[in-house]
Amino acid sequence: MMRCLAGLVICTLLAAWVLSGVRADEPVVRDEAVLARQATMRSAKAALGVLFEMSALRRHFDRDTAREARAVLLAALAEIPARFEKPYMDRHSRSRPGIWENRAEFLRRAIAARQAARGVRTVNLPALRRSLPGMMAACLACHDRFREPR
C-alpha cells in the first residue's frame, strides 16, 4: 500500500513538473538585453531567409524586396556586438560561453559577417546567387563556434 502511494505521489509530482514546463517559443527571461539579442538574431535570420528563398527559387526574385532584406540584415548584424555585451545565459539559451570568454574572436566573426552582408548583391538573381554563399558561410562559422546545436 505504501509503495503504491509513494508511486502515485512520484508520478503526480513528475507530471506536474513536466506540465509546468515553459514552452520553447516563450521567452524565459524578462531581461531587456536578452530579449533585444533574441529579436536581433530573429531579424537577421528572417532577412537571410528571404534572400535564400529567392536564391533557391522558392520565392520570386524581386530586386526591391531583396534590397530591403539586405538592409535589414546589415542593420541586424551591426547590432550584434552590442547585443552580446552582457554575458547572460538562461536554460533555453543556445549561446556558448565562448562569446564572452573569447570576445575578440567573437567580434572578428561578427565583423566578418557584416562584411559578407555588404558583399551580398541584390541587382539580379545571378548576382544574389554568387554572393549569398559567402554570407551563409560567415553566419555558419560564427554559429559553429559560438552557438550550441539543437
Cell output for 113: 559577417
CATH topology of domain 31-87+95-146: Four Helix Bundle (Hemerythrin (Met), subunit A) (1.20.120)
Closest by Cα among 54, 19, 21, 30 to 135: 54
Distance of CA 121 to the CA centre of its chain: 22
Secondary structure tally for the chain: helices H, strands E: 6, 0
Average pLDDT, the chain: 83
Phi-psi region of 132 (alpha: psi -120 to 50; beta: other; left: phi over 0): alpha
Three-state SS at 125: helix
d(C-alpha 125, C-alpha 138), whole Å: 20
Task: Map grid coordinates 536581433 to a residue.
Answer: 40
What residue ranges do the domains of the chain occupy?
A: 31-87+95-146
> pLDDT means per 10 residues in the chain (150 residues)?
48 38 51 83 96 97 98 97 83 81 94 97 98 95 89
C-alpha separations of 11 from 3, 6, 7, 18, 22 in Å: 12, 9, 6, 10, 19
d(C-alpha 142, C-alpha 108), whole Å: 9
